[in-house]
Amino acid sequence: MNIRTFDLERIQSLYENTVEFNLTESGFHPFSLKELLTPEELDEINNTTLGYGQTNGSIPLRKRIASLYPNCHEENILVTNGSSEANFVACHTLLKKGDEVVMMVPNYMQIWGIAEEMGAIPKSFPLLEKNNWTPNLEELEKQVTSKTKMIALCNPNNPTGYTLSPEEMEAIVKIAKKVGAWIYCDEVYKGAELNGEEIPSFFGLYDKVVVNGGLSKAYALPGLRLGWLAGPQEVMANSWAYHDYTSITAGILSHKVGEIALRPERRAQILNRNRKMLNENLSHLKQWIDQHGELFRFLPPKAGGMAFMHYNLDINSTELSNWLRINKNVFIVPGDCYGMDRFIRIGIGERKDFLIQGLERIKEGLEEIHSLKS
């Protein structure tokens, strides 16, 4: 096999439907169509002819997406089957064998695997827990060379929930400009900020920027499998050519429902619902952590649907995740998926009662493990 197994996605696929409490989800509890759409909109969906539709995304949908970015038009948008396909298409558009990719870590590691498979050279620069997850921009500058073709970011970050400041964004743009590197930013959690203030996009800050968005995370609509790329028109045209070789098009029903979800009033309703859920659940999580004394070290996220925390137990994170899954019927993401043992990721975008019950199972498990280790 020429590509490494994507551990995070693989273990979720294997186990998320086999447990009573799946706390590995990184988004929010999904909407139903009945919850999301009015009766009139449901009738419109019911009367839709199930053809292919426009393969780069319907014009109404691409106009809605373009309105989310400054000085952006539908020609700057390519609609994909989820943001994961967007990552795949973008890498094959922007990279070739021998190119260097400098990637923020921890991160959703799909791009690392794609770059390796293509013969590109992935390198990293860290977010530093000791500095409240701020990026080590000195290390980024050291890692960037004349061979660097892409600086890959995730903002808001998966899994830490950190959001880059405008000053940090400007510094990253300055570093990229020195060598003419592309900035590729995964922005799928944009809109899920806890304080309700949406962070700016990298789109428009530099002429060599491509960003990734989608409806799976901040919008709680993962079943639509609707993602997109936003970037220069010529790059989007080239990306469309790669898209023709992958899934060809997202489904026409997803185009229609996605366009409705991105209408300004509906979008605001969706994001407000999810932010309220996140703030309430984070409050419960903090209370739960406080019950465990020195067991956890935790910096609350600024955005996103997950909590990433260090634990003080003498057990590997994958072993811990497996033990909780097998013995307590609750599933969490091990830090090993990010190359960071002794960390765990817990999804906090779930229904409140479900999350509380799942945390109680984890508490029971941690007490048993502690007694076994004593």
Give residues with Cβ within 8 angstroms of 336, minimum separation 6: 7, 316, 317, 318
Q: How far apart are CA 64 and CA 62, in angstroms?
A: 5
Look at residue 12 in the predicted model and tell me its pLDDT.
87
Residue-level pLDDT at 370: 73
Please count the structural domains in the chain. 2
Q: Are residues 292 and 168 in the same domain?
A: no
Whether residue 74 is found in the same domain as residue 176: yes
Q: Specify the pairing of strand 148-154 against strand 182-186.
A: parallel
Q: Is 313 within the bounds of a domain? A: yes
- The answer to whether the beta carbons of residues 151 and 106 sit under 8 Å apart is no
- How far apart, in whole angstroms, are the C-alpha atoms of residue 368 and residue 44? 54
338 domain residue, yes or no: yes
Both 233 and 271 in one domain: the answer is: no
The whole-angstrom separation of Cα 358 and Cα 307 is 14
Asked, for residue 38, whether it belongs to a domain, the answer is no
Structural contact between residues 307 and 298, judged by C-beta atoms closer than 8 angstroms: yes
Q: Are 250 and 81 in contact (CB under 8 A)?
A: yes
Token duo for residue 331: 């599933």
Containing domain of residue 126, as a range?
50-263
* Contact criterion met (CB below 8 Å) for 218 and 187: no
Asked if residue 305 and residue 242 are part of one domain, the reply reads no
Q: Tell me the mean pLDDT per 10 residues along the chain, length 374.
A: 79 87 94 96 94 95 98 98 96 97 96 95 97 98 97 98 98 98 98 96 97 97 97 98 95 97 97 97 96 92 96 94 95 95 96 95 88 65
Please state, in angstroms and rounded to a whole number, the distance separating the CA atoms of residues 368 and 21.
Answer: 18
Query: For the CA atoms of the chain, what is the radius of gyration?
Result: 21
